[in-house]
């Protein structure tokens, strides 16, 4: 893109113009708003409408899309890690890569973390270290199978710098056969304000004439905990978050005493932050 202030070229990964320093917006949001992304997503939405009309569930699909407009970004984390974030305003939740780069965390000796950077770079070339990952949810419960405790994020803290993506990028890269630094095909991401379009394009086959509003939460984030087939829409947030971005923490009351203490501490902190 060209800088709106000086007209010179701004690299796709840069947040501000390297020539005049003008803030050019969040690179992930710019990517999602690019013309070919929007056009391709629209053609997927059109195909979804065609199928839904043919199956007699067009109204149900539209209702689903409307409901998705109210969805939130949630992050499931172990109770202990949520407590760490909430206990101090100076503590930030940053990307895995930033944690590793800062020395706060070591890349685990497993193949999964080794390929992680690979697909994160495919999605966000040269700025993947800036992105943190959440998922889209219509409830505050998150994915029961994947993390018993879930942080719900405040729209006003993340919406302007967030984009949504079709699914877990690792699954996406495998499913689409994206190899050797090939770019991600257009049509599978959207800005926060268009998350309902992505949801309809992706999930129309899950909607039928019997679909009711109560089913939407399970359609947008299908939790097959224990079966290995869970599926969701990812939220990619540029930059870090701290406790001020957390609206709520949900999950069952822990069974073990130490975890109950942590839970109690979390609840008290949330209460004091909201007052």
Asked if 194 touches another protein (CB under 8 A), the answer is: no
The one segment of 22-30, 53-61, 157-165, 215-223 that binds another protein by CB under 8 A: 53-61
Let me know: does 249 contact 147? Beta carbons within 8 Å: no
Residues 16-35 that bind another protein (CB under 8 A): none
What is the rounded CA–CA span in Å between residue 40 and residue 38? 6
Query: Does an H or E element contain 163, and which?
Result: strand 162-165
Smaller CB separation from another protein, 35 or 106 = 106
Among 27, 65, 147, 186, binds another protein (CB under 8 A): 147
Q: Which long-range contacts (CB under 8 A, 24 or more apart) does 251-259 make?
A: 251/79, 251/141, 251/142, 251/148, 251/149, 251/150, 252/148, 254/79, 259/79
Asked if 183 touches another protein (CB under 8 A), the answer is: no
Asked if 112 touches another protein (CB under 8 A), the answer is: yes
Minimum distance of another protein from residue 272's CB (angstroms): 9
Asked if 39 touches another protein (CB under 8 A), the answer is: no
What is the rounded CA–CA span in Å between residue 235 and residue 106? 24
Smaller CB separation from another protein, 8 or 258 = 258
Let me know: does 191 contact 163? Beta carbons within 8 Å: yes
Residues 151-180 that bind another protein (CB under 8 A): 168, 170-171, 173-180
Q: Among residues 188, 183, 41, which one has the least CA distance to residue 126? A: 183
DSSP assigned state of 140: S
Asked if 228 touches another protein (CB under 8 A), the answer is: yes
Sheet of 150-153: strand order equals 189-191, 162-165, 234-238, 131-137, 72-76, 150-153, 246-250
Largest Cα separation within the chain, whole Å, is 60
Asked if 105 touches another protein (CB under 8 A), the answer is: yes
Smaller CB separation from another protein, 3 or 61 = 61
Residues 63-92 that bind another protein (CB under 8 A): 76-81, 83, 87
Asked if 254 touches another protein (CB under 8 A), the answer is: yes
Asked if 213 touches another protein (CB under 8 A), the answer is: no
Smaller CB separation from another protein, 18 or 56 = 56
Smaller CB separation from another protein, 214 or 256 = 256
Asked if 146 touches another protein (CB under 8 A), the answer is: yes
Smaller CB separation from another protein, 28 or 148 = 148
Our measurement of the distance from residue 200's CA atom to the centroid of its chain's CA atoms, rounded to an integer in Å, reads: 16
Asked if 210 touches another protein (CB under 8 A), the answer is: no
Q: How large is the C-alpha radius of gyration of the chain?
A: 19
Asked if 212 touches another protein (CB under 8 A), the answer is: no
Asked if 36 touches another protein (CB under 8 A), the answer is: no
């Amino acid at each position: 893109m060209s800088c709106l202030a000086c007209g010179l070229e701004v690299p796709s990964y840069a947040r501000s113009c390297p020539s005049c320093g003008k803030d050019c917006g969040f690179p992930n949001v710019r990517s999602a708003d690019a013309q070919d992304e929007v056009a391709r997503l629209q053609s997927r939405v059109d195909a979804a409408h065609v199928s839904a009309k043919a199956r007699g569930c067009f109204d149900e699909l539209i209702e689903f899309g409307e409901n998705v407009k109210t969805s939130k970004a949630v992050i499931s984390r172990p109770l202990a890690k949520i407590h760490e974030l909430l206990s101090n305003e100076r503590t930030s939740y940053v990307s895995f890569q930033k944690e590793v780069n800062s020395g706060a965390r070591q890349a685990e000796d497993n193949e999964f973390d080794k390929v992680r950077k690979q697909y994160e770079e495919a999605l966000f070339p040269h700025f993947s270290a800036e992105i943190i990952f959440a998922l889209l949810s219509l409830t505050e419960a998150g994915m029961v199978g994947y993390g018993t405790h879930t942080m719900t994020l405040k729209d006003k803290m993340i919406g302007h710098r967030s984009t949504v993506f079709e699914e877990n990028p690792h699954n996406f890269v495998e499913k689409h056969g994206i190899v050797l630094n090939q770019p991600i095909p257009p049509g599978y991401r959207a800005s926060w304000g268009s998350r309902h379009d992505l949801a309809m394009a992706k999930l129309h086959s899950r909607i039928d004439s019997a679909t009711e509003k109560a089913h939407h939460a399970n359609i947008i984030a299908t939790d097959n905990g224990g079966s290995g087939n869970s599926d969701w829409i990812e939220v990619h947030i540029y930059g870090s978050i701290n406790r001020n971005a957390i609206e709520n923490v949900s999950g069952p009351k822990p069974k073990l005493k130490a975890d109950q203490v942590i839970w109690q501490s979390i609840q008290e902190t949330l209460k004091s932050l909201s007052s």
